[in-house]
Each structure stands twice: as C-alpha cells, then as structure tokens.
Amino acid sequence: MKQIKTGLAAFGMSGQIFHAPFISTNPAFELTAITERSKELSKERYPSARIVRSLDELLAIDELELVVVNTPDSTHYEYARKALEAGKHVIVEKPFTTTVEQGEELIALAKSKGLALSVYQNRRWDSDFLTVQEVLNKGLLGRLVEFESTFPRYRNFIKEGTWKESGEMGGGLTYNLGAHVIDQAVQLFGLPEAIFADIDILRTGGFVDDYFVIHLLRPAKAPEVKITLKSSYLMCEPEPRFMLHGTKGSFVKYGLDRQEADLNAGLMPTSPNWGIEDESIWGLLHTEKSGQIVREKYPSLPGNYAGFYENIYRHLRLGEPLQTDASSVLDVIRLIEKAYESSRKKEILFL
C-alpha cells in the first residue's frame, strides 16, 4: 500500500493532540513533515518527520500528498488556498473558514483541481455523540421532541498569550465549540429553516464571545424537534452534555468524551481501551420497554477520532465518500454567520 505522505502546517496544541497521534499510528499514512517556526518539539516523538520553518517550505515538498491546515482560524482560508494551488489534498481544522464566501471559493478551487478538501469535525466520533445517534436510531425515546447539546467550560479569567482569547487571529466560543455542536445537530436533524441566537462576552475583560445559546428552528429531517445548543466559559457546575426528551422517555448524558484528556495526558490512540468511557459517566435512559418503565444506565459506545483519518484514507485510496467533505460542512459556517447576525439584531432569521 502506498502511504499518504502528510504534512502538518503547525505543531501547536492541535497538531500535537488531534492530528500527529492519529496520522503516525495509522499505517496508511506517513507523517512526512511538520512546520515549527522556531522550535523542534516534534523531534522527540516523531524523529523521522522533517521539520520545516514555513508553510511555503512545507508546500515545496513535492512528495507531500496531504496537508493539514491546523493554524489559527483567520489563516485557514489563505493557507488552504495555497495548499490547494500547490496540488495538495487538504484537511482544514474547524472552523472551516471565517465566511461562507471564503468556503465557497475553496470548494470550487478543490473541485477544479480534483483534490479532496475536508474539515476536521472530529467530534462526530465522540463517544457521547455516537451513543446519542444509537439511542435515536433505535427509537428508544419514541418521537423525539427536544434536543439540547451543551459544551460546558470553566475558566473565569482571560488566558494570556493566546489568539483564541485576544481575537487578533479569530477565536470566540461560537466559532470554536459552536462549530462542533452545530455540526452535530445538522448531522442528526439536517439544516434548520431558521435560527435564533444570543451570543455575548460574560467574563470581565473579555475580547471575544465566551457564551452562546443557539436555537435551530424546524430542522429539515425533524421539523417538530426543539433544538438548543449552548456553551459558556462560566459553567463551574456543568450541565448535561446532552439532554433528549421524547414521547416515550428521556436520555441524559453528563461528562465529556475522554479522548482529548487522554491525548493531553500523553496516551496514544493505540493504547488499550482507547475511547471507552467509564461506567460512572454512562448516560441515563428513562423510558418504556415492553410496557414497563425503566430507568437505567445506557452503555456508551467507544469514541474513535481515528475514524476521521481512516475515512480520509478510504476516500483517497479506495474512492469511498468523504464524510467530512467541505461542501457538506459549509452549512456550519453559514449557521455561525447567521447566529451572530441574529444575536446582533435580536431576531429570528430565516435561511
């Protein structure tokens, strides 16, 4: 099998935690080059990967087939465009772009060159989200009427020295975590007919939004479902990650997928029991089975971010559909833009 020679455009938190571990442990890929502008942090863990000092130097490597644009938000459009123009397949970290117009231009460019353009929506492979999909597919709640997805965070101060807090190169909670919860909702229910949002800065001295509540109204696949998406940096006592209510019962799930925490702790995706949640944070299913009311823990499916890169391989080498094709993810940016507009105008906006 011809390996997919892959280059990282950066080796910050995203490169170290979300990309390099999965590229390096998948035999279909070779982690060929890593961009580090001044440091050499990657050398110890990935000694065979070449260190380059700029995006241009990375793109000049002829044998590179795939480039991961995992740089600050405001650079995604420019760097992805350069990589596509250089003839490389591209994975762009979320958020895909800052505007729909930028996204449309990149999608057209990739199509004209016959290149793959994917967005790293890795949380489609979160344990809790996979479990929610299973609960819905099995019809365990009857007809779903309400879906609430909350991404709790707690940091009651402004973190110094990060573009995500300063707003200088993008950032803001809606583009950051909103890109995940919106994408998950669209995966489940389709594009909504309208949106209503409240986005704000709650922490003292903040420069970018650190709170949002977004309502997606009359989604295409299930117009009757009431959808609420939430996140905040001031959730010291977290709310449930998911709450689903239906005509036959409810499913409530606390806690976050463990993969990010394990990666931060230095574990690799090949570690034993990867992505398997502890029974203590399994979701609660309260429903009706065979005429009997049950209230019990529901086993979580294993999380598996490696599934993202496995799909990239199967698309590039076997021609299978690209699950995170940029053209299908563009609606996430469309909804984020509409959410900000709705919050400014304090209005329901139709798509």
Q: Residue 161: its pLDDT value, please?
A: 83
**Residue 142 pLDDT more than 80?**
yes
Q: Residue 67: its pLDDT value, please?
A: 98
Dihedral in degrees, nearest 10, Cα atoms 316, 19, 122, 118: -40
Q: Residue 169: its pLDDT value, please?
A: 78
Residue 289 binned pLDDT confidence (cut-offs 50, 70, 90): confident
Q: Residue 327: its pLDDT value, please?
A: 97
Report, as an integer, the average pLDDT of 62-75. Answer: 97
pLDDT in tens, 254-265: 999 999 999 999
Domains and CATH numbers, the chain: 4-120 (3.40.50.720), 123-303+334-350 (3.30.360.10)
Dihedral in degrees, nearest 10, Cα atoms 337, 343, 347, 351: 10
**Residue 157 pLDDT more than 80?**
yes
Query: What is the rounded CA–CA span in Å between residue 158 and residue 169?
Result: 16
Proportion of the chain above pLDDT 90, given as a percent: 95
Phi, psi at 314, each rounded to 5°:
-65, -25
Q: Per mean pLDDT, which range of 47-61, 213-227, 285-299, 322-336 is the poorest? A: 285-299
Helix/strand/coil for 95:
coil
Report, as an integer, the average pLDDT of 11-29. Answer: 97
Report, as an integer, the average pLDDT of 25-54. Answer: 96
Q: Residue 122: its pLDDT value, please?
A: 98
Whose CA is closest to 2, among 326, 317, 330, 332?
317
Residue 171 binned pLDDT confidence (cut-offs 50, 70, 90): confident
pTM of the model: 0.96
Mean pLDDT across the chain: 97
**Residue 1 pLDDT more than 90?**
no
Report, as an integer, the average pLDDT of 280-299. Answer: 94
